[in-house]
Structure 1
Amino acid sequence: MDVSESTNKKSNSHTGFLWLATFIAAMGSLLFGYDTGIVNGSLEFMAVKGQLDLTAFQQGIVSSGLTLGAAFGAIIGGPFADKIGRKKILTILGIIFSVGALGCAFATNITILIVFRFILGLAVGSASANVPVYIAEIAPTELRGKMVTTAQVMIVSGQFVAFGVNAALTPLGAQNAAIWRWMLGLGTIPGIILWIGMYLIPESPRWLVSQGKMDKALGVLRRIRSAASVESEMKEIQDKDKADKELNAEQATFKELISKRWVVQILITGAMLGIIQQFAGINSIMYYGGKIIQESGFDTTVAAILNAGNGFLSIVGAVLGMFTIDWLGRRKLEFAGLTICGITLVSAGVIHTVAPNASWAGITIVVLVYLYIIFFQGTLGPVTWLINSEIFPQRYRGIGTGITIFVLWIGNFIVGLLSPVLLEWNMSNTFYIFAVCCVLGIIFVALRVPETKGVPLEEIEKYFRTKYDK
């Protein structure tokens, strides 16, 4: 065996190990998707008399209790990980996901169920903040984009798995309405994989350097990099850590943030993008898609099967978004997404209003929902997160994005809470309400959101300073 062949084998070994670490950490993202999506099929059985006998509003509370927890988990998860380490926080999250799933499965009343859903939400929110960070910190520069994007793909994959579980178990619910306990309890499996798997993979070398643990960081780099690049990357990490510590010594406070008009305008822009994303209606469909499909004329079992298509097409849309976001630009994708989502929502609403009993109506509404999901997951889904990461100057980025992510999750909570009530009231009107929000979103983006594709971060800051610092 010559030297080059030996080097290539070692390089492939390092890459394979990195992908294993990425997959294990991304179990947190898969659980994010699973725990938000599994209520789609399980709520119907919880509502049965003799089970939890939930009203429409109580169904909204059970569903949105998780997203309320996620809002707070996103805020506290990052700082907590900075103190104890990325590996340790993800290990703890694996335990919380496992215990939370079991707690939901064995809940004897709605109060216990809501408590454990909220606990799961804390884990979901923390995972949404920490999984991409961990992956970004272990990935080599040339693979960072693909590896970090794995987290987003795993979120929608988790929802697809949840919908698949619902489709497989729903037929059993005719004989045993308690099948919802199995639906929720199966979330324990990926939780255990995350929990145990984190013992097999290393701590982030960047976090170790930030804690002054240079020897351990060097040891990790030797496991995940080729020997030729270890020393140079170690120096790069140390230099970056030194620069970050100098910068963080002067990080902005909330008081300073709200004292500067142009920074407040950035905060409003980022927060409103999160509200627009949520009030375009995506999670009304992802959480209650089975109910929507049943309302379109399908029985419970067929609705569960068709609803699994929502999860699969979410993956398709997310992958398409990966390849178009740097090609078409942020504003174009926002406009396209809001426009097409609005049109599909109005079309579905009109069909349900004027021809609810037509033989073609039900399947047409399902197709429109599928189109909505593909375009949303390829546009509004990823673009909102990306723009928020670009518009804040470095000094305000940590506190600013923390606030905007919190607002986004609160928007998610409101949509999840009210959707069952709105759908029970009138499905068509619910679609029209979300369509109006899409139109308002188009107006907001046209007036307030700059194109950030290919624009240096300093120029983005200059745009907001020039426009609002008067």
Structure 2
Amino acid sequence: MSQSSAGPVAGSPGATQLPPLKPGPHTRRLGLVALVATFGGLLFGYDTGVINGALLPMSEELGLNAQSEGTVTSTLLIGAALGAVSIGRLSDGWGRRKTILLLAVLFFAGTLACVFAPGLAILLVGRFVLGLAVGGASTVVPVFLAELAPYEIRGSLSGRNELMIVIGQLAAFIVNAILGNALGHLDGVWRIMLAVCAIPAVFLFFGMLRMPESPRWLISKGRYDEALEVLRTIRSQDRAEAEMGEVERVSELEAKEHETGISSVLKNKWLLRILLVGVALAVFQQLTGINSVMYYGQIILRDAGFGADAALIANIAPGVIAVVGGFIALWMMERINRRTTIITGYVLVTIFHLLIGLSAAFFPEGSAARPYVILVLVVCFVGSMQTFLNVATWVLLSEIFPLHMRAVGMGITVFCLWMANAALSWVFPSLIASIGINGSFFSFAAVNAVAALVMWKFLPETRGRTLEAVEEDVTTGAIFTVNKK
């Protein structure tokens, strides 16, 4: 499906002509709210990326083997899966803002547990608590941003969270490289790497104390006066009132026609179908292997032929290209259809998976060119992921679900995302050890060729449409029947 219009699709249910966006103090206020909320994404990125450099010194101090290394990494991801379901659902009843405040507390508490862990058991508890926070952030922050954003810039505003995730990962890689090379002789250097995460957690907590609640969540609870008051701080006066009327109309209609929760999804074939689309988006994004590179990049580069310290430094390159790709992706969000972006991304990552596998097979171990060729191809793979897939995936997940099932839909899809991430992260060290770089990336190529076909067949388009227009078309099935180009 391809829509090239900049506004809601003419003639579609719920398509409303809203007053145009106007610059003013409300624009700066919206930008500030987005910046503070995306500190959750920054924490998400740092906590998932820091293990890349902390794992080897951690293993040496605590005596970890390949299996326990996978356990340390995947414990956070299992916690994230549970956090996505439980904390995402909590935000539906408790509010987006209060839930993000809770996430800041969990980030801080989990960091302290990891930093002061006397052994593996407490370390795993800390990693699990951090996982709860990461999973909650991956569910609640994108929804919060999507519900605050005007439809004209929803993709670029929501996509800022993914940009902050990769900035957090890059920050982790840089901190790891500096500390690993300067203080690598110290037994507890990995604790210092982990401790840095406490700083943005404090900023997130105190920043969110001054931020508003989601107006769409307020409307869903019948708190119309409060919702309008919030909208007037992030929209012009006429736009706030017009948007308030549209959101209120659709919210009341959906409340009358639909139950809330998973039961409403299972009883409606269109809601079930959009949930399955969301699960496919989430799981296939993880099966690209992007997080295997982000978590185990140092191990991959050492296997390619770099020394330990050189691998830490070289590992910064994928982090840099991820941030560059994130900026390009934000620019693309309001200019190129989501479907086109996603399908292009899966085609590109399939090609780079094949090239990484072929280069690992073609260049023998010990070859001077081998580590640099693989590094360049890994950078190209990460750049393709970040430019075409990561931002677009999270934006789509925050857009495609109707309000009455948004928390449930995000919770289930992100739970599946984190479980796929956890499973792949747990087996990846053993996979590299058993079939090498070439076999691992050939496997990724096969999976992502399938992903490209699935997205071409089933993925709907949401660009240039209000959340309310998307919601009405999802609940009637119209969003699946428009011809795809």
Q: d(CA) in 1 for partners of 2:151 and 2:463?
A: 20
After superposition, where does 1:8-407 map in structure 2 within 5 Å? 13-48=25-60, 51-139=61-149, 144-208=154-218, 211=221, 220=230, 224=234, 229=237, 233=240, 236-237=243-244, 240-241=247-248, 243-249=250-256, 250-251=258-259, 253-255=261-263, 257-259=265-267, 263-355=271-363, 356-388=365-397, 399-407=408-416
The 8 Å contact of residues 72 and 406 in structure 1, kept in 2 or not, is answered as yes
The 8 Å contact of residues 81 and 135 in structure 2, kept in 1 or not, is answered as yes
Q: Which residue does the alignment assign to 2:420? A: 411
SS of the equivalent of 1:379 reads helix
**How far did 1:73 drift?**
1.6
Q: d(CA) in 1 for partners of 2:88 and 2:424?
A: 25
The 8 Å contact of residues 216 and 247 in structure 2, kept in 1 or not, is answered as no
Q: d(CA) in 1 for partners of 2:84 and 2:438?
A: 33
Q: Which residue does the alignment assign to 1:420? A: 429
SS of the equivalent of 2:305 reads coil
SS of the equivalent of 2:309 reads helix
Structure showing greater relative contact order (alpha-carbon pairs closer than 8 Å, 6 or more residues apart): 2
Q: d(CA) in 2 for partners of 1:33 and 1:271?
A: 21
Q: d(CA) in 1 for partners of 2:380 and 2:278?
A: 26
Q: Which residue does the alignment assign to 2:15? A: none
CA separation of 1:450 and 1:88: change in aligned 2, threshold 3 A: closer
TM-score, normalising length: structure 2: 0.83
**How far did 1:14 drift?**
4.3
TM-superposition CA deviations, 1:140-174 (whole Å, max 9, x none): 66665443322121111111111111111111353
The 8 Å contact of residues 267 and 400 in structure 1, kept in 2 or not, is answered as yes
TM-superposition CA deviations, 1:415-448 (whole Å, max 9, x none): 1111122123322221122122122223333444
CA separation of 1:253 and 1:466: change in aligned 2, threshold 3 A: farther
TM-superposition CA deviations, 1:38-76 (whole Å, max 9, x none): 10100011110xx21111121112112112111222222
**How far did 1:97 drift?**
0.8
CA separation of 1:342 and 1:252: change in aligned 2, threshold 3 A: same
Q: d(CA) in 2 for partners of 1:84 and 1:454?
A: 30
After superposition, where does 1:439-450 map in structure 2 within 5 Å? 439-449=449-459
Identify which range, 210-219 or 102-111, moves more after superposition.
Answer: 210-219
**How far did 1:272 drift?**
2.4
The 8 Å contact of residues 109 and 129 in structure 2, kept in 1 or not, is answered as no
TM-superposition CA deviations, 1:341-385 (whole Å, max 9, x none): 122222222222232222111111000000000111112223333
The 8 Å contact of residues 172 and 179 in structure 1, kept in 2 or not, is answered as no
The 8 Å contact of residues 298 and 312 in structure 2, kept in 1 or not, is answered as yes
Indicate the RMSD between aligned Cα atoms, in angstroms. Answer: 3.2
CA separation of 1:293 and 1:130: change in aligned 2, threshold 3 A: same
Q: d(CA) in 1 for partners of 2:223 and 2:473?
A: 37
Q: What is the number of residues matched between the two proteins? A: 453
Identify which range, 39-48 or 13-22, moves more after superposition.
Answer: 13-22
Q: d(CA) in 1 for partners of 2:403 and 2:37?
A: 27
Q: d(CA) in 1 for partners of 2:271 and 2:123?
A: 40
The 8 Å contact of residues 135 and 147 in structure 1, kept in 2 or not, is answered as yes
The 8 Å contact of residues 45 and 173 in structure 1, kept in 2 or not, is answered as no
CA separation of 1:224 and 1:106: change in aligned 2, threshold 3 A: same
Letter in 1 for 2:319: G
Q: d(CA) in 2 for partners of 1:421 and 1:362?
A: 20
SS of the equivalent of 2:315 reads helix
CA separation of 1:277 and 1:202: change in aligned 2, threshold 3 A: closer
Q: d(CA) in 1 for partners of 2:307 and 2:203?
A: 35
Identify which range, 86-95 or 176-185, moves more after superposition.
Answer: 86-95
Q: d(CA) in 1 for partners of 2:158 and 2:480?
A: 29
CA separation of 1:209 and 1:100: change in aligned 2, threshold 3 A: same
CA separation of 1:238 and 1:209: change in aligned 2, threshold 3 A: farther
CA separation of 1:120 and 1:380: change in aligned 2, threshold 3 A: same
Identify which range, 79-88 or 444-453, moves more after superposition.
Answer: 444-453
The 8 Å contact of residues 56 and 424 in structure 1, kept in 2 or not, is answered as no
**How far did 1:335 drift?**
3.4
Letter in 2 for 1:107: A
TM-score, normalising length: structure 1: 0.85
The 8 Å contact of residues 79 and 135 in structure 2, kept in 1 or not, is answered as yes
CA separation of 1:327 and 1:349: change in aligned 2, threshold 3 A: same
Q: d(CA) in 2 for partners of 1:84 and 1:210?
A: 12
CA separation of 1:390 and 1:431: change in aligned 2, threshold 3 A: same
The 8 Å contact of residues 155 and 334 in structure 2, kept in 1 or not, is answered as no
**How far did 1:92 drift?**
1.9
Q: d(CA) in 1 for partners of 2:309 and 2:377?
A: 20
**How far did 1:265 drift?**
4.4
TM-superposition CA deviations, 1:235-255 (whole Å, max 9, x none): 743663464144235235534
Q: d(CA) in 2 for partners of 1:245 and 1:84?
A: 20
Identify which range, 15-24 or 425-434, moves more after superposition.
Answer: 15-24
Q: d(CA) in 1 for partners of 2:358 and 2:333?
A: 32
Letter in 2 for 1:433: S
Unpaired stretches in structure 2, ≥5 consecutive residues: 1-22
Q: d(CA) in 1 for partners of 2:123 and 2:325?
A: 32
CA separation of 1:245 and 1:117: change in aligned 2, threshold 3 A: farther
Q: d(CA) in 1 for partners of 2:369 and 2:204?
A: 44
Q: d(CA) in 2 for partners of 1:207 and 1:341?
A: 37
Letter in 1 for 2:101: T
TM-superposition CA deviations, 1:58-104 (whole Å, max 9, x none): 11121121121112222222332233333322222111111111111
The 8 Å contact of residues 114 and 191 in structure 2, kept in 1 or not, is answered as yes
TM-superposition CA deviations, 1:8-63 (whole Å, max 9, x none): xxx75544344333222211110011111110100011110xx2111112111211
CA separation of 1:328 and 1:224: change in aligned 2, threshold 3 A: closer
Identify which range, 408-417 or 82-91, moves more after superposition.
Answer: 82-91
**How far did 1:201 drift?**
3.2
**How far did 1:405 drift?**
2.3
**How far did 1:320 drift?**
1.9
The 8 Å contact of residues 209 and 238 in structure 1, kept in 2 or not, is answered as no
Unpaired stretches in structure 1, ≥5 consecutive residues: 1-10
